[in-house]
Each structure stands twice: as structure tokens, then as C-alpha cells.
Amino acid sequence: MTLDEFNALSREDAIAVVRPCLDIQRWIEAVVDARPYASAGDLSETAGSVADPFTAEELEAALAHHPRIGERAQGDSKEASLSRNEQSAVDPSDREVQEALAAGNAAYDQKFGRVFLIRAAGRSAQEILAALNERLGNTPEEEDIIVAEQLRQIAVLRLEGAVQA
């Protein structure tokens, strides 16, 4: 969809375009209600800064839509399709990486009580695994900041894919 088409959508239709990018209602409405955008850069900048900071409840709800790194999202929803594409560098047949990711995911869940989240697009499986292991050394407060930033990066990339100049 072009930026002009996005700007011209009804509010409900624009919300439907934005929701798969990041299902945080306050963020969705802020992105949609800031229309019209003069450029794709303006859209990306707005998406990267509105609804800041996310609340703990918003973060937890948004994380519920993300599969563990290395696990393929199931279903035919737009979000599942986006997730599978973003994790395409993680080869499900690479047993060594899969085992390391599974162990890292379990350790992360044990420590932080949630799914490990990283912007996987453009990263190799080894880079993702290294980041996972590094982030296991964070405090919960440090990790909250990183998770919020990763969610924003994912959302902006997804929105840029959905709406182009």
C-alpha cells in the first residue's frame, strides 16, 4: 500500500493495517491519528516515538503475539506470516542452533518470565543466539528497556513493509 493510500483510509481500515505491526492499542491509535504523513520517513519517525514508554501491561500483551526465537509461528494470520519471514535466517534444520536457542529461550523465560524478543530481521542465527546469551546477563530493569526498543524496531520495520512511499 502506498503512503497516499494509507493516509486516505478510514480510521478503522488504517487501524487494521497497523495492528499486525504491534498490537498495542495506544500505539496503533497514535500512529493512525497522526495522519496524514508527508513522507514515509515521517511515518517511521512517528511510529518509533509515540506511546513512549510502553506500560508493563502493554509490553506483556504485545509479547503474547511473538513466538520464541527458533520456533515457527503457526497459523495464517498476518502476524504469523511476518514472524516467519523475520526469523527466516534461523534454519529449523540446524539442530545445533535449535538446541542452543531452546536452552537460551528456557533460561530467558526462567529469569524474566517471558519470551525472548529480538528484531530478528537482518540478523543471522548466530547473531541472535549471541544476543540472547548476552541479554541473559541483564537485570529485569535493563531488559524491560531493551524489550520495548526491540518491539518498536519490529513495529517500524513491519509498518515500513506495509506502507511504502
What is the per-residue pLDDT for 70? 72
| Beta-carbon contacts of residue 11 (< 8 Å; ≥ 6 apart) | 32, 33
**Helices (H) and strands (E) in the chain — how many of each?**
9, 0
- pLDDT-above-90 percentage for the chain: 72
For 84-126, the pLDDT digits (tens) are: 666 666 767 788 988 999 999 999 999 999 999 999 888 988 9
Q: Which residue has the cell 517471558?
A: 114
Q: Which residues pair with 2 in a beta bridge?
A: 164
pLDDT at 20: 92
Range of the domain at 101: 3-162
Return the half-sphere exposure (C-beta side, CA atoms, 13 A cut-off) of residue 156: 18
How many other β-carbons are positioned within 10 Å of the β-carbon of residue 158? 22
The C-alpha atoms of residue 140 and residue 72 are separated, in whole angstroms, by: 26
- HSE of 113 in the Cβ direction (CA atoms, 13 Å)? 7
- Which of 92, 39, 95, 50 has the alpha carbon at shortest distance from 69? 92
Confidence band, pLDDT 50/70/90 cuts, at residue 78: low
pTM for the model = 0.86
CATH number (domain holding residue 136):
1.10.3330.10
The count of domains in the chain is 1
What average pLDDT does this structure show over 112-141?
94
Task: State the Cα–Cα distance between residues 1 and 46, nearest whole angstrom.
Answer: 18
